[in-house]
């Protein structure tokens, strides 16, 4: 999948979740940041062929779900 297609999927999910990203709970924000960093690593790995689309999608879903809880 091309990077532009991944970017479009990413933005569509952000918009669909109506994410505001303004939590005050430190532990939840810390977890969300950790998952965000993990997602970034998976995206880079996917770009060079070291990760699959399903790994990319799972990392994205984990991060966005944590953001919704935070």
User: How many distinct structural domains can be found in the chain?
Assistant: 1
Q: How many residues does the chain have?
A: 70
* Structural domain that includes position 17: 3-69
Q: How far apart are CA 44 and CA 41, in angstroms?
A: 5
Whether residue 50 is predicted with pLDDT greater than 90 in this model: the reply is yes
Mean pLDDT of 34-52: 94
- Higher-scoring residue by pLDDT: 48, 12: 48
Whether 22 has a pLDDT exceeding 70, the answer reads no
CA 42, CA 49: separation in Å to the nearest integer?
10
**Nearest CA to 9 among 60, 62, 70, 55?**
60
Q: Is 20 helix (H, G, I), strand (E, B) or coil?
A: coil
Is pLDDT larger for residue 24 or for residue 46?
46
**Residue 4 predicted with pLDDT over 70:** yes
Q: Supply the pLDDT for residue 14.
A: 77
């Amino acid at each position: 999948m091309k990077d532009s297609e991944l970017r479009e999927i990413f933005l569509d999910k952000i918009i669909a979740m109506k994410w505001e990203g303004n939590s005050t709970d430190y532990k939840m924000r810390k977890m969300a940041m950790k998952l965000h960093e993990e997602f970034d690593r998976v995206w880079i790995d996917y770009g060079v062929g070291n990760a699959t689309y399903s790994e990319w999608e799972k990392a994205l879903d984990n991060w966005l779900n944590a953001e919704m809880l935070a």
